[in-house]
Chain A
Amino acid sequence: NAGVMQNPRHLVRRRGQEARLRCSPMKGHSHVYWYRQLPEEGLKFMVYLQKENIIDESGMPKERFSAEFPKEGPSILRIQQVVRGDSAAYFCASSPPQGFHEQYFGPGTRLTVT
């Protein structure tokens, strides 16, 4: 059973460009969470999605950031017009539809904005 997959693993963007980060949950998992980890800091919640629905986006910056989890395909975190402060590791986690929402993390995408 493959774990949570994320791609790309490393992404370099110039200021003003767009970044697209992808997350495929574990098989059987229908809940996806995105977290951001700044250098030498903890993980901060950004958004929680189920298929075709955003459940909680309270941690998402109001501008430039968006997320989706379509009926088919991976979840995507999109950052428009990136700035240097967006440089971080972005992790997604997935959890099953039942149970106590144990979350399993992907390997992360390390975004560097130059």
Chain B
Amino acid sequence: GENVEQHPSTLSVQEGDSAVIKCTYSDSASNYFPWYKQELGKRPQLIIDIRSNVGEKKDQRIAVTLNKTAKHFSLHITETQPEDSAVYFCAASIRAGGTSYGKLTFGQGTILTVHP
């Protein structure tokens, strides 16, 4: 089955700096890669996702890049703010045929702390 590895496990940055979180996956059939932000005691929130036919996607201060050959994808947060502090999870799934099937396999999470 799919295995997703996420690094680093903790990341501490100063406000205004950039933060990068990296994930690798094992199943070359995976074609959908979402990122979730989870604040303490709260639900995981979808913040951005990328599909395998795209190499990069950006939404304001957040961007995700995908390298299918290397089976590697990354989350980039620019101009970090204290409210960006949370646990970030990457995930991978497979869309089979014309269905919307897609159980998510998650990475282990990265605790991001942004210091004012």
Binding site for B on A (CB under 8 A): 4, 31, 33, 35, 41-45, 48, 55-56, 58-59, 91, 93, 95-108
> Which residue of A56, A91, A99 is within 8 Å of B44 (Cβ)?
A91
Q: Give the interface residue-count category, chain B.
A: 20 to 34
Contact partners of B106 in chain A: CB under 8 A: 35, 42-44
**Shortest beta-carbon distance from B102 to chain A in Å:** 4
Q: For residues 57 through 96 of chain B, which have their beta carbon under 8 Å from a beta carbon of chain A? A: 89, 93, 95
A107 to B100, CA, bound (A): 23
**Shortest beta-carbon distance from B79 to chain A in Å:** 26
Binding site for A on B (CB under 8 A): 1, 32, 34, 36, 42-46, 49, 51, 89, 93, 95, 100-109
Q: Which of A31, A91, A101 has the most CB of B within 10 A?
A: A101
- Is there contact, CB below 8 Å, between A98 and B100? yes
- Is there contact, CB below 8 Å, between B32 and A55? no
A105 to B45, CA, bound (A): 7
> Which residue of B42, B44, B51 is within 8 Å of A100 (Cβ)?
B51
- Is there contact, CB below 8 Å, between A105 and B101? no
> Which residue of B42, B46, B109 is within 8 Å of A104 (Cβ)?
B46
**Shortest beta-carbon distance from A2 to chain B in Å:** 14
- Is there contact, CB below 8 Å, between A41 and B108? yes
- Is there contact, CB below 8 Å, between A101 and B32? yes
The 4 closest A-B pairs by CB, nearest first: A101-B102, A101-B100, A105-B43, A42-B106
- Is there contact, CB below 8 Å, between A99 and B100? yes
**Shortest beta-carbon distance from B26 to chain A in Å:** 15
Contact partners of A101 in chain B: CB under 8 A: 32, 93, 95, 100-102
Q: Which of B32, B104, B105, B107 has the most CB of A within 10 A?
A: B104
- Is there contact, CB below 8 Å, between B46 and A100? no
Residue of A nearest to B89 (CB): A42
- Is there contact, CB below 8 Å, between A96 and B100? yes
A83 to B26, CA, bound (A): 33
